Amino acid sequence: MSGTTPAASAPAVREAVTPSIVRTVTPIIVGAVLTYVFGVEAGWLRSLADSFGLTEGAISTGLTLVVTAVLSSVYYTVVRYLEVNVRPSLGALLGVARQPIYARLRDQAADRIRRDNGQTDPLYLIVIVVVVVILIILLTRIL
């Protein structure tokens, strides 16, 4: 035995990661639904679009994205505050009442980094580059 912790089993990873995914996606869905229900269309969009030389659709799309992000963030923050300070069961408003547990995965990742002499996985770098390129494309289309 080499003294390192074996790779995490699929059930252990699922147990640790699934709640975090659900607790991340739920506020995004709530923010999108709230944005749709309350709408972000307004008469002032046309004049704003004209002043910047943009189409009303571009302004509306950008505004929708911003409002959705703000509503999602506010929802998550309020629910987390209530979960920590009022009642832990209110965490269910994030989709799962149980908070994610990362300690075991963190320890296994640390062992893997030590074993690999701190080298970064090339796939990780590729993912970062792809995400940055996508964000740049989205921003250029919005602005």
| pLDDT per position as a tens digit, 93-116 | 988 887 776 666 667 667 766 676
* Amino acid in the structure at residue 134: I
Tell whether pTM > 0.75: no
Counting Cα atoms < 13 Å in the Cβ hemisphere of 73 gives 6
pLDDT on residue 1? 42
pLDDT digits (tens, 9 = 90+) for 38-78: 665 555 556 666 777 767 666 677 777 888 888 888 999 99
Rg (CA), the chain: 21
The interaxial angle of helices 56-85 and 44-52, nearest 10 deg, is 120
CB atoms near residue 103 (< 10 Å): 8
pLDDT at residue 16 above 70? no
pLDDT at residue 3 above 60? no
Query: Tokens in use for 7?
Result: 């790779």
